[in-house]
Structure 1
Amino acid sequence: MTTPHITADVRRKVSLASAIGNFVEWFDSAAYAVMSATIAALFFPEYDKSAALLATWAIFAGGFIARPLGAAFFGRYGDRLGRNRMLALTILTMSGATFLIGILPTYASWGMAAPILLFLLRCAQGFSTGGEYTGASAFIVEYAPEGRRARFAAAVPVTVGLASVAGSGVGFLLTSTLSAGALESWGWRVPFLLAAPLGLIGLYLRSKVEDTPVFRSLEKHDEVESAPLREAVRRNGRQIATLFGYSITNAIGYYLMSSYMIAYMSEELSYTKSESQITNVVSMLAYSVACLFAARASDRFGRRPMLIVACAGFVLLPLPAFWLMGSGLAGAMIGTSMLAMLVSVIGTSNVPALVEMFPAKVRASGSAIGYTAAYVLFGGTAPFVATGLVSASGSAIAPAFYMIVIAIVSLIVVLTSFKETRNLRLDRVTDTPEPAARA
């Protein structure tokens, strides 16, 4: 099976559509984390401060409950009906759910119905996210030129980082300029209400790009799999398990860095909300810039060496990073940026690898299962577990030990199970390790 020639102009359009669509998706998701402390006070006013924050993170984790359903649904959808159609539906679902959170009445108005509805809308967000990241990864990598897949696909993790920067920037602007009363009255809603116009822009851009040449070739040769989810589990169990095994470190690292640190710095380390927000902006900018360099290294040296470096880094550096966070604002920026750059190393190799690991016919389904399972079990629960560990141990650096243990597991998985994927053909329909054709 061969794929059609792709022009540089088409690739630019694909990059723009993927980048902006992914930005919209993750800005919406970041909005909840940015306003977590305010949401805790508005939706759980009868709890003490720590219990309210735990309840807020529990609802954050609850959004991950729907991710497996979203992964199964959108993975099957993408393998049967196309990557682009799948991504259009994910952005509509995410934007709609996030906008509804922005107009949701609080506990003072609706009582217990308010946190229940918040939980359900978080589930809708999670359902969408279950298909977005791996779907966007497949879409952009299947358009990428040989030998530059990681660099081309860096648009996915970079826009995740920039979305968090934008979300934190909006949060910083709101918390630093509004009074406490204004923030609780209407200010917290602003990031969520932005979902509607941003979602429409992303949907428009994605509608202007054809589906990937790999999927169009599958359709042309009548090789679209009728039951991709079942076939992925039956034939690609090793790849799914391997992807899960190292993605758990990616998941914990990202969500502790992006979602947990804002509340952690203000609640546990006594920084102001504004200081916490600006530190998050700095670390996410470091992440976004580092992704560009890490992606080039991944294309040069391969996915496996970069995954080993990242996992080893998560074994060695969390303790120094957490110590720095407690040493002052400058130290906090350095410590969070250290973790951010480690996440960039693992993330920029994970994006092309999760696509390359699977044959074309089951790619969206197989990658969604392994990657999403890691994020459901470890990413979504990371802020809750970290908060609980600090509370139970009385130690502000307890989350560092959690990261180290998980990273050791992932390092073992990469060393024993991950097979280099950099040179595999993307249009293969079986697990036969065909090398990529060189231009």
Structure 2
Amino acid sequence: MRRAIGAGSIGNFVEQFDYGLYGYMAPIMAPAFFPESDRTVAVLSTYAIIAVACLFRPLGGTLVGRWGDRVGRKKTLLWTIVAMGVATALIAALPTYQQIGIGAPALLLLLRVVQGSVSGGEYVGAVAFIVEWAEPNRRAYYTSYASNSCFVGTLAGAGTAALTSWLFEGEALDSYGWRLPFLLAIPFSLVGVWLRRHIEETPEFVRATNEGTDVVKAPIREALRSQWRPILVFCGISIMLAILSYTWVTFYPQYLTDTLGLPRWMALTSNAISIAVLIPMLPLAGILSDRIGRKPMLVTGAIACIVLVPVAFMVGEHGTFGTAVASQLIYLVPEFFLTGIVTVCAAELFTTRTRFSASAIAYNSSFSIFMGTTPFVATLLVSTFGTIFAVWAYLAVGALLALAVVSAFMTETYRSQLGADKFARQAVPDHSRRAGGVR
């Protein structure tokens, strides 16, 4: 199980290291790829590249999901980490706008599209890989490590960006210093290749496909035909988490610097501290959810989004390092109840034979799109309305949608049979065997 967690999580780490690093370095990278005449437009354009690239994630994720359901989880995840690592590392070698003009942002967009397309299947594939190895009554606990790998990657991206900003100053940072951290994707990806080559295919996939010979011939069509209800349910609950998380890890540090005047290294450090605090909390959230279920956690998290996020923003408005840390620690409450639980739902809601395809469609139709657009939308909202509470209103809409979906349409999935259709009949929790297996 430890090997399965490591092999599944390493790709999430590489993906989020890249997104965290890009998000934190975007204001520094912006003059290299866009005209310097208007700094706000340049920063917005750099963020917009993430948003545009994320629009390709549904297509890329769906294709990756199809391969995952046909050739297996292991083979698919092996090459996705290679593609992600290469696309990230090549950013370090791109020419600037001053050198080739419009070709510079075009090449950056191309690499982000490749990275985003592959990442669209990486995360859900890794979650499926871990869940299909896990004991039925510990699935949320084990998949909490997949969520943690994302935050560890984001933390590594934040720490690397902060260290780079400290080591390189002025012209050195603007000309070449920002490029160096992207090269770290190469050794990270090599570790991932080694881990994934030295573990077997998941027992659940082998069992569900009769030793790999009875795979679904058209998993995308089958997923859309038979799994459309859980796909819509997952979309309804995951939009909230996408807005919540990517307001916090990509937009908020920049807001602390540009709007509240906090030095960049303080903003990044405060964000890194809050991420470091959340990491050991997520396994505890998984343990709690394995005891009480998924729906109570999701409802509590949605309410916390509506009630506590504006409190966090009010505290942060004081503009000191201490209040920046305090505001983000308050922000962790809804993250605690939502992050790992939405992750495990990405696998539990779908049947084994089409899990990769169905979860890729659901994840990329909601989470990925809002993940990529949130920094841009949040920056635009603050610029338009002059207050960060406009961002909270945006999040509150997502939270209300999630509350409605969970309350009216979601079937409880914890301890249910992993391969069963949760929407064909009511899932029956298995209390007869606490250590694993299904009746």
* Fold similarity call, TM over 0.5: yes
Sort the Cα spacing of 1:210 and 1:116 in 2 relative to 1 into closer, same or farther, 3 A: same
Question: Partners of 1:226 and 1:151 in 2: how far apart?
Answer: 33
Where 2:195 maps in the other structure, the secondary structure is helix
User: After alignment, is 313-322 or 344-353 more displaced?
Assistant: 344-353
Say yes or no: does 1:298 pair with 2:282: no
Which residue identity is paired with 1:96?
Answer: V
Q: 2:134 aligns to what SS in structure 1?
A: coil
Long gaps (5+) in structure 2: none
What SS does the aligned partner of 1:147 have?
A: helix
Q: 1:338 — aligned with what? A: 330
How far residue 210 of structure 1 moved from its aligned partner, in angstroms, is: 0.6
State how 1:29-428 maps to structure 2 within 5 Å: 29-220=19-210, 222-327=213-318, 328-428=320-420
Distance in 2 separating the partners of 1:238 and 1:133: 21
CA contact (8 A) 1:308 1:411 kept: yes
- Distance in 1 between the 2:408 and 2:47 partners? 34
C-alpha distance in 2 between matches for 1:47 and 1:283: 35
- The one-character-per-residue Cα deviations of 1:290-336 (angstroms, maximum 9, x if unpaired) are 21221111111101100111111111112111111111221111212
* CA RMSD across the alignment: 1.6
User: 2:297 is aligned with what amino acid?
Assistant: M
CA distance change for structure 1 residues 380 and 347 in 2, over 3 Å: closer, same or farther? same
Report the AA paired with residue 360 of structure 2: A
- Give the TM-score, by structure 2 length: 0.94
Contact 1:157–1:344 (Cα < 8 Å) also in 2:
no
- 1:143 touches 1:213 (CA, 8 Å); kept in 2? yes
Deviation at 1:47, TM superposition (A): 3.9
Give the deviation of 1:342 after TM superposition.
1.7
What is the one-letter code of the residue matched to 1:290?
M
Alpha-carbon deviation of 1:16?
1.9
Letter aligned with residue 82 of structure 1 = G
Distance, in Å, in 1 between the alignment partners of 2:62 and 2:10 is 24
Q: TM-score, length-normalised on structure 1? A: 0.94
For the Cα contact (< 8 Å) 1:74–1:131, is it kept in 2? yes
Inter-partner Cα distance in structure 1 for 2:165 and 2:204: 46
- Aligned partner letter, 1:249: M
Name the SS for the 2:279 alignment partner: helix
| Aligned residue number for residue 4 of structure 1 | none
Quote the Cα distance in structure 1 between the aligned partners of 2:141 and 2:155.
Answer: 21
**SS of alignment partner, residue 148 of structure 1:** helix
Distance in 1 between the 2:20 and 2:86 partners? 15
Q: Distance in 2 between matches of 1:25 and 1:51?
A: 26
Q: Structure 2 CA distance, aligned partners of 1:435 and 1:363? A: 20
Instruction: Give distance in 2, aligned partners of 1:154 and 1:313.
Output: 20
Q: Which amino acid aligns with 1:351?
A: T
Structure 2 match to 1:6: none
> Are the aligned partners of 1:93 and 1:128 in contact in 2 as well (CA < 8 Å)?
yes
Structure 1 alignment gaps of length 5 or more: 1-10
Cα deviation, residue 128, structure 1: 1.3
Q: Is the 8 A contact 1:290 1:341 kept in 2?
A: no
Deviations 1:415-439 (A, max 9, x none): 1111100021123478454655724
Displacement of 1:165 = 0.8
Deviations 1:383-406 (A, max 9, x none): 111111111111233211211121
Deviation digits for residues 188-230 of structure 1, max 9, x if unmatched?
Answer: 1122111111111111111111110011113326431111111
Distance 2:398 2:252 in 1: 18
Q: Distance in 2 between matches of 1:155 and 1:333?
A: 24
Q: Counterpart of 2:244 in structure 1: which amino acid?
A: G
Which deviates further from its counterpart, 334-343 or 99-108? 334-343
Look up the SS of the partner of 2:137 in the other structure.
Answer: coil
In structure 2, C-alpha distance between the alignment counterparts of 1:388 and 1:375, rounded to whole Å: 20
Matched to 2:127, the amino acid is S
Amino acid at match of 1:277: L
**Closer, same or farther: CA 390–429 of 1 in aligned 2, 3 Å:** closer
> Does the Cα contact within 8 Å between 2:350 and 2:419 map onto a contact in 1?
no
| SS of equivalent residue, structure 1 residue 404 | helix
Question: Aligned ranges for residues 5-20 of structure 1 at < 5 Å?
Answer: 11-20=1-10
Corresponding residue SS for 1:380: helix
Q: Which secondary structure does the structure 2 equivalent of 1:220 belong to?
A: coil
Name the CA distance, whole Å, in 1 between partners of 2:197 and 2:331: 36
Calculate percent identity across the aligned residue pairs.
37
Structure 1 stretches of 4+ moved >3 Å: 427-437
Deviation at 1:166, TM superposition (A): 0.8
Deviations 1:351-378 (CA, angstroms, capped at 9, x unpaired): 2222111111111111111111112432
